[in-house]
Structure 1
């Protein structure tokens, strides 16, 4: 069923290298103009077959370790989120996180991406908002893609680099990215790629972390960042990257040291 749902979104798919339309075969997808091919692998299409994740720091390691992924949701994620988000008192609950997606995700026409979907923690909220038929889970970790297939076997999934998404310009209705922006080596490039793919009016919802204002707590954040190879952000740099990408910030919520924000694509998509 997941493969059928992905095939149903073929019109939105495009070569991540040249953004041209793809042809389909039993083996996967291929790009005639540049000659690239993208194979089916165990229920997902691999749009980054030459890319390997670097295991620098505990964050990237945990995202790829099949043994740890089984403990991720109930153990590691909670501690990580509480420390990075200054959430020891539970000011932002899981229900609050889901409610933000439900409230702010307002897709235009086209598929809805859960970018860096992981094991599916936030994908469920996206599915509840727009329906399973429209959602595509995107991740670079093979172990995470296997985990989300077990959790949501009907979900369409692809393996892809967030800086080279396998979708045509202006073909995506909305993008959600929860608890992952801090892992990307070049967040500004990810913003530009999301902006390229979004339809006019499509939304981009994000949950990540901001730098603590108190020097002592910022010290503990920095220790966590170094161990997990992640980073927190300032509101100003997020705003600057969004503006540079052509995205308009329409909502900003900062409980504790969380950053929950929504941006929209208001201009016509440019040519690839």
Structure 2
């Protein structure tokens, strides 16, 4: 297990991840606030009713709980993560009537094809040992008419970018090219593909045709 994955499995990080660690690092990486990211996630996934939502690598559940608040009727959100300390924090801090948590491997999701109306992974694909396999799994469980959204790393070329990429590689973080995920989405027949670049992060969304 590389340094990045060991860090994400540390109970100490789980306790401060959404309160300090993630907001600070993501603001430095993208210039965007966590509040803006959460609000845009609901809009991008078009959550407004009884959808079934899957949040991959949910960490302590802050995004998962926020997404569940946009649902009603039979809608619910499932947060899936490999880290037991993160899930323990999610259950303690972000339980709710329309949210649940599950320990699992993003590369082999324990769900049938087309189970979810919305599938997302915000800020974690670069940590997963096989991110392309994980993304294919996300697409597999997405229902016709459903939407997918991801936030992940992006290779860019400002001053010192090469040094930052070397450090990321040493820590076990992957850095993706601009075309990687748009091409993967198109390969699997997804449409309405949108990509926005904010510094060293890329935000992507797409839809599965009905």
Residue 63 of structure 1 corresponds to 8
Contact 1:105 1:204 in 2 (8 A): yes
Which residues in structure 2 correspond to 1:243-258 (within 5 Å)? 243-258=186-201
Contact 1:198 1:265 in 2 (8 A): yes
Asked if residue 141 in structure 1 is aligned to residue 87 in structure 2, the reply is: no
Contact 1:60 1:183 in 2 (8 A): yes
Output the CA distance in 1 between the equivalents of 2:133 and 2:108. 9
Output the CA distance in 2 between the equivalents of 1:249 and 1:211. 23
Output the CA distance in 1 between the equivalents of 2:14 and 2:20. 10
TM-score using structure 2 length: 0.87
Output the CA distance in 2 between the equivalents of 1:78 and 1:106. 24
Residue 133 of structure 2 corresponds to 189
Contact 2:60 2:87 in 1 (8 A): yes
Asked if residue 226 in structure 1 is aligned to residue 172 in structure 2, the reply is: no
Q: 2:116 aligns with which of 167, 172, 180?
A: 172
Equivalent residues, number: 206
Asked if residue 106 in structure 1 is aligned to residue 22 in structure 2, the reply is: no
Residue 203 of structure 2 corresponds to 260
TM-score using structure 1 length: 0.69
Deviation at 1:139, TM superposition (A): 0.7
Structure 2 unaligned segments of length 5 or more: list them.
none
Deviation at 1:110, TM superposition (A): 5.2
Misfit runs of 4+, over 6 Å: none
Q: 1:201 aligns with which of 142, 145, 152?
A: 145
Q: Radius of gyration: which is bigger?
A: 1
Q: 2:70 aligns with which of 129, 141, 146?
A: 129
Q: Is the alpha carbon distance of 1:128 and 1:62 closer, same or farther for their aligned partners in structure 2, counting shifts above 3 Å?
A: same
